[in-house]
Structures are given as C-alpha cells and as structure tokens.
C-alpha cells in the first residue's frame, strides 16, 4: 500500500460511494481508472486541475424530484412499496414489519444494520421486514466504503431483496436502457455488500437475491411501478474488477518510480503541482476510453482529448470495438474495408463484413 499512498500523495484517500463503485463495472478494462481508484485519488479534483471537468452531474431539480418520489414510495411505513412488492413477489400484507435504521443515529447505523440483518437471517418464520436507511460496508483496495441502499426488503422464505428507487420514468413499460443499466450496476454494489455481510455473519450469502426490485414513476405521473432486474452479469463484472484492484501490484509493474498523481494543496487549497506535470504522470498509465465514459467517469473529458488522433477503435464505442475484435485502429479497419490492407490470421471474417459494409455505404451514397 506504500506505493499507492505515494501515487495519491499527502492527502486522505477518496471514499467510494455506490455510484463510484458501480462505475468500475462500466469499463473494467481501464487500467488508469482502476489504479486511481485503488489509490483513492480524487478523480473529480484531478480532472478540474487538468482543465477537463466532467460534464455530468444531477441538477438540483432532478435531486428534488428524486427525493419527492422516494418519500412518496416510503411514506406511511413503506405502504406504497408494500403494495408493489405484494404484486411483484407475492408478499403477504398481514406479516410485514418496518425498521428505520437511521433512528439509532449515524454513528450506530452500521453496527445496527449488522444486528438487524443477523437477526432476520436467523429467524426462519414467515415475517417480512422493510429495513429503511441501512448502512453496509465494502472493502475497496484496502479502504472501507460505506454504502446506503434505498431499502432492503426481507422477503418471506428467508430471501433478501435490494430495493432501488429511481426517479426516471417508465413509459408504456419501457425505460431508457442506459439509465436502467446504470441503476443495475449500482444495485449490484448493494447486493455484493449485503452478501459480504451475510458471509461475515456466517450465513449463506446467496440468500440475497440477484433479482433487484427497481421502483420508478409510471408514465408521466408520480405513481410508482416496480419490476425485477437481474444483476448477475453486473455482479460478475464488479467482482472481477474489485479482484483486479486487490491485485494492484500487477498494475504497478512497469510504472516508473517517482510517478505520482499528487495534488497536495498550498495554503490557499490550490494544488502545488502544474497541470502539465500531472498530465505527463497520467499518460504513464494506459486508459481505455469509450463514449460510455462520458456518463460514468470523472476523467472522461481528459481521456477523450488524449484519445483524439490516436486512431483507436475505442472512440467508436464499446459495442463496435468488441465487434471489430482484434482490429485496434481505425486506419486498419478502413484499410480492411477498402481492400488495401490484407487481413491477418483470424481477421478474415471481420474483413469480409467490413468490405460488405463499405459496398453498402457506396451504394447508399450513389
């Protein structure tokens, strides 16, 4: 961990919230992000010092709307949520309890959550309980992160379900795929944290369901609707990325001694290091930029600017990059499409499809 501390410099490590941990699963192949997160580097502050602040962030209106909708779902002891879960999971109305973990005070929430979950896991009756404002923990590269899901519903039959409440609308049974995917990645973090807690308490971690309850407004009203989202894929990616971060020595191999992302401030709180020197240090760690990064990573604008002119197929998006297989550069892809470059071994099928796409493009232009 000494090398990671050197990378971060003389500042406290940045704590990871659920959104930040979920973003790890969005681009698991990026060594730069993995190394910065493992060291606890403040990526937002780094990007701002470089002159490339991230373009995303919730507006105050969106935050207010989200708080209002969550309050509606949770009011009267989660009565509306109970109605939704009764329809979705077959939850008996007469056997439901409600526990607000926040009532014990912020300094006791984590230990109180452990006690309540342990007690619920040991009881094998049919009682179902809503746990509001629980607080879990998860180890991220040696640092403890504290996570607060919206609600944990203890289902009849000894199964726990994470409930994720989002304010984006479901219109005619459909929601924006990008928002659903982001919610699934975030919910997977909570599932992993709760499974880790159950394992620590000596219970079967699989009692936490991989089916997450996603609650959203229906159509253009504030009436909530619920659906089950399977997060097994997101869990697998998240586990791989966290394992990669615990084996951070592999990422540090080949990184010259003395390289640091130090943002030590002066007396006025301004980083003492120049943006040019910091950019040179970051260039020592390869990034894997893709357009999806623009909504998930604080370093996205810097990495996009760096990737311009590289000719990498990453700039076309993850889906196209994966379809092109071993074709790493756009110049190579264009050459294969135009027939001016001979396909290497294993590229024959990709070259055939690229030539077909080129013929279709020419026909459209004619």
The predicted pLDDT at position 321 comes to 56
Find the range with the poorest average confidence among 91-95, 140-144, 341-345: 91-95
For residue 60, is pLDDT > 80? no
| Residue 1 confidence class, pLDDT cut points 50, 70, 90 | low
| pLDDT band of 113, cuts 50, 70, 90 | very high
Give the pLDDT confidence score for residue 114 in this predicted structure: 92
Which of 79-83, 205-209, 305-309 is predicted with the least confidence, judged by mean pLDDT?
305-309
- Is residue 124's pLDDT more than 90? no
Which segment of 85-99, 163-177, 181-195, 322-336 scores lowest on mean pLDDT?
A: 322-336
| Phi, psi of 51, rounded to the nearest 5 degrees | 90, 20
Instruction: Please give the full DSSP string across 90-139, using - where no structure is assigned.
Output: ---GGGEEEEEGGGG-GGGHHHHHHHHHHHHHH--SS-EEEEES--EEEE
* Burial of 51 per CB tally in 10 Å (0-12, 13-18, 19+): exposed
Give the pLDDT of residue 328: 60
> What whole-number distance in Å separates Cα of residue 223 and Cα of residue 217?
5
Please say if the pLDDT value at position 229 is more than 90. yes
Span 145-176, pLDDT tens digits: 889 898 888 766 678 999 999 999 999 888 99
Give the mean model confidence (pLDDT) for residues 229-254.
81
Q: Tell me the average pLDDT of the chain.
A: 82
Cα–Cα distance between 362 and 135 in angstroms, integer?
58
pLDDT at 322 over 80: no
Q: Using an 8 Å Cβ cutoff, are 357 and 339 in contact?
A: no
Q: Which has more pLDDT, 283 or 17?
A: 283
Cβ of 178: how many Cβ atoms within 10 Å?
11
How far is residue 334 from each of residues 5, 288, 346, measured CA to CA in Å?
Answer: 44, 21, 17
Rounded Cα–Cα distance for residues 87 and 80 (Å): 11
**Nearest residue to 165 (alpha-carbon basis) of 295, 75, 292, 61:** 75
Q: Is-contact 78 98, C-beta < 8 A?
A: yes
Query: Around Cβ 22, how many Cβ atoms within 10 Å?
Result: 23
Q: What is the reported pTM? A: 0.74
Residues 133, 5: Cα–Cα separation, whole Å: 32
Give strand pairing partners of 227: 214
Place of tokens 């909530």: 224
Higher pLDDT, 57 or 1: 57
Q: Measured on CA atoms in the order 191, 195, 201, 204, is the torsion positive or negative?
A: positive
3-class DSSP state for residue 62?
helix
- Contact assessment for residue 128 and residue 154, using Cβ atoms and an 8 Å cutoff: yes
Burial class (CB within 10 angstroms; exposed 0-12, middle 13-18, buried 19+) of 156: middle
Band the pLDDT of 59: cuts 50, 70, 90.
low
Res. 312: pLDDT tops 60: no
Helix (H) or strand (E) holding 36: helix 31-39
284 has pLDDT over 80: yes
Confidence of residue 258 (pLDDT cuts 50, 70, 90): confident
Q: Which long-range contacts (CB under 8 A, 24 or more apart) does 8-12 make?
A: 8/39, 8/40, 8/41, 8/260, 8/261, 8/262, 9/260, 9/261, 9/262, 9/263, 9/264, 10/262, 10/264, 11/42, 11/262, 11/263, 11/264, 11/265, 12/40
CA–CA separation, 141 vs 138, rounded Å? 10
């Amino acid at each position: 961990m000494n090398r990671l501390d050197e990378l971060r410099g003389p500042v406290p490590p940045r704590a990871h919230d659920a959104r930040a941990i979920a973003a790890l699963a969005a681009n698991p192949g990026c060594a730069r992000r993995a190394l910065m997160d493992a060291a606890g580097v403040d990526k937002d502050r780094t990007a701002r010092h470089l002159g490339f602040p991230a373009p995303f962030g919730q507006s105050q209106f969106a935050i207010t709307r989200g708080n209002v909708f969550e309050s509606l779902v949770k009011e009267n002891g989660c009565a509306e949520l109970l109605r939704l879960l009764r329809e979705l999971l077959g939850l008996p109305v007469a056997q439901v309890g409600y526990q607000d973990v926040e009532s014990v005070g912020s300094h006791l929430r984590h230990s109180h959550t452990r006690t309540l979950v342990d007690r619920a896991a040991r009881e094998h009756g049919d009682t179902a309980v809503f746990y509001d404002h629980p607080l879990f923990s998860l180890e991220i590269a040696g640092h403890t992160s504290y996570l607060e899901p919206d609600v944990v519903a203890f289902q009849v039959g000894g199964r726990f379900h994470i409930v994720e409440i989002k304010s984006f609308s479901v219109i005619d049974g459909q929601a924006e795929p990008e928002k659903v995917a982001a919610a699934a990645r975030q919910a997977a973090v909570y599932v992993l944290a709760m499974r880790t807690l159950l394992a620590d308490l000596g219970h079967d971690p699989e009692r936490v369901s991989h089916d997450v309850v996603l609650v959203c407004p229906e159509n253009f009203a504030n009436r909530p609707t619920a659906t089950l989202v399977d997060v097994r894929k997101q869990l697998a990616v998240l586990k791989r990325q966290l394992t990669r971060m615990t084996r951070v020595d592999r990422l540090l191999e080949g990184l010259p001694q003395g390289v640091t992302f130090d943002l030590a401030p002066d007396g006025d709180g301004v980083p003492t290091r120049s943006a040019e020197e910091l950019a040179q240090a970051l260039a020592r760690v390869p990034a894997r930029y893709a357009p999806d990064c623009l909504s998930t990573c604080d370093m996205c604008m810097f990495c996009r600017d760096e990737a311009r002119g590289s000719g990498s197929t990453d700039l076309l998006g993850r889906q196209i990059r994966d379809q092109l297989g071993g074709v790493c550069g756009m110049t190579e892809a264009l050459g294969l499409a135009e027939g001016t470059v001979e396909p290497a071994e294993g590229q024959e099928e990709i070259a055939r499809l690229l030539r077909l796409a080129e013929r279709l493009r020419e026909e459209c232009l004619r």
